[in-house]
């Protein structure tokens, strides 16, 4: 088994922080559904402002909101742009859902990473 990207949210904006919460990242249920992310599924995050990378789990939140909870609240500020993705284990890559967001955490467009092999890149 290999690990491949399963879903990606691109351009997610931090709208709140809750240091005293027990942990996780909360995001709108509609975004979870659009990308194919289940509640309590492991997610990986990268803060484009700081370069910080970490993993946690996703919990359903309110529309338009993305909150860093627990210790992760120290890894971003309100307004920071975050990349969030999941991985899945499978024999071969079967494709992935990618959801691009605007500055209000609303879906701007969608894309699917194809299951076929990408073309070779020349160096």
Q: Which of the residues are catalytic?
A: 24, 57
**Which H helix or E strand runs over 11?**
strand 2-13
Show Cβ contacts of residue 104 under 8 Å, excluding neighbours closer than 6 positions: 13, 64
Token pair listed for 13: 């904006």
The span from the CA of 88 to the CA of 94, in Å, is: 10
Nearest-CA neighbor of 16 among 92, 78, 95, 105? 78
């Amino acid at each position: 088994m290999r690990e491949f990207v399963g879903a990606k949210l691109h351009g997610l904006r931090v709208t709140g922080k809750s240091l005293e919460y027990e942990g996780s990242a909360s995001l709108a249920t509609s975004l979870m559904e659009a990308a194919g992310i289940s509640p309590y599924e492991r997610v990986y995050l990268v803060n484009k402002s700081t370069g910080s990378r970490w993993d946690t789990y996703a919990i359903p939140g309110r529309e338009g909101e993305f909150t860093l909870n627990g210790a992760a609240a120290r890894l971003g500020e309100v307004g920071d742009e975050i990349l969030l993705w999941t991985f899945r284990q499978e024999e071969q890559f079967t494709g992935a859902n990618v959801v691009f967001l605007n500055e209000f955490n609303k879906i701007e467009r969608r894309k699917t990473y194809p299951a076929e092999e990408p073309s070779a890149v020349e160096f």
